[in-house]
Amino acid sequence: MDGILLVDKPKGWTSHDVVAKVRKILWQKTGRKIKVGHTGTLDPAATGLLILVIGSYTRRAAKFSKLDKVYDCELTLGAVSTTGDADGQISYVSDKIPNKNQLKNTISQFIGTYKQIPPAYSAIKIKGQEAYKLARAGRELKMEPRVITIYKIENADYQYPKLNFRAKVSSGTYIRSLAQDIGAKLSTGAYLSALRRIKVGDFDVKDAYKLNDLNMAAVQTEVAKSP
């Protein structure tokens, strides 16, 4: 069995949890260990599109991981988080309430290509170890900036302290870092309080399976459609 499977990852599941579930389905029905991987990590608190690669398609994982992404994002202004999201330790920063024009002008400054500093709590490898493991151990990390592109930010909806928008970004972009950078530019602080991945390249979450609907028949049907 070779192909891809689109899954709508629920909140609270790691990307590896989803991979393990599909591996178990395949093992139970075939009695064989079939390779399964994913093409781009979603944090446990995030939801949305996860592309799984099965069988020989695991060799194509890098191809899918390089595709552009679209996210629905919710930022909370006025505070920061040790992890950049709602799972970290939250600290109050400011009661300053930016107006809509200030928000619009600030957001526009992040459209384009620039060097972004990724969060320490990430799966980026530092000397063979994931950065988040080192950060949890109390290590101070200097994260190297990466060139990323934010193509557009649209559908902005602002009701302080919540700021919602949809962002189309290049592979390698961290929305948690974008949230922190927007908060810093506004002098209010901000963290990512909710995230949903809508698209990866031309693949859309509306075509993805819910975890509760996954079974062998569903996997076979979806994999058969693989490009």
pLDDT in tens, 100-109: 999 999 999 9
Range of the domain at 193: 69-200
Q: Indicate whether 106 and 154 sit together in one domain.
A: yes
- Cα 126 to Cα 1, 18, 107, 141, distances in angstroms: 34, 25, 31, 9
Greatest alpha-carbon span in the chain: 60
Least confident stretch, 53-67, 81-95, 119-133, 181-195? 119-133
Instruction: Specify the pLDDT at position 214.
Output: 87
Residue 42 maps to which CATH number? Answer: 3.30.2350.10
Q: Indicate whether 119 and 172 sit together in one domain.
A: yes
Q: Indicate whether 117 and 154 sit together in one domain.
A: yes
Peptide bond into 119 cis (omega under 30): no
Q: Indicate whether 60 and 116 sit together in one domain.
A: no
Range 153-177 average pLDDT: 96
Q: Indicate whether 98 and 77 sit together in one domain.
A: yes
pLDDT in tens, 34-89: 999 999 889 889 999 999 999 999 999 999 999 999 999 999 999 999 888 998 88
Q: Indicate whether 80 and 145 sit together in one domain.
A: yes
For 116, how many CA atoms within 13 A lie in the half-sphere containing its CB? 25
Q: Indicate whether 59 and 102 sit together in one domain.
A: no
- The active-site residue, picked from 8, 43, 85, 181, is 43
Q: Any catalytic annotation for residue 68?
A: no
Q: Indicate whether 152 and 127 sit together in one domain.
A: yes
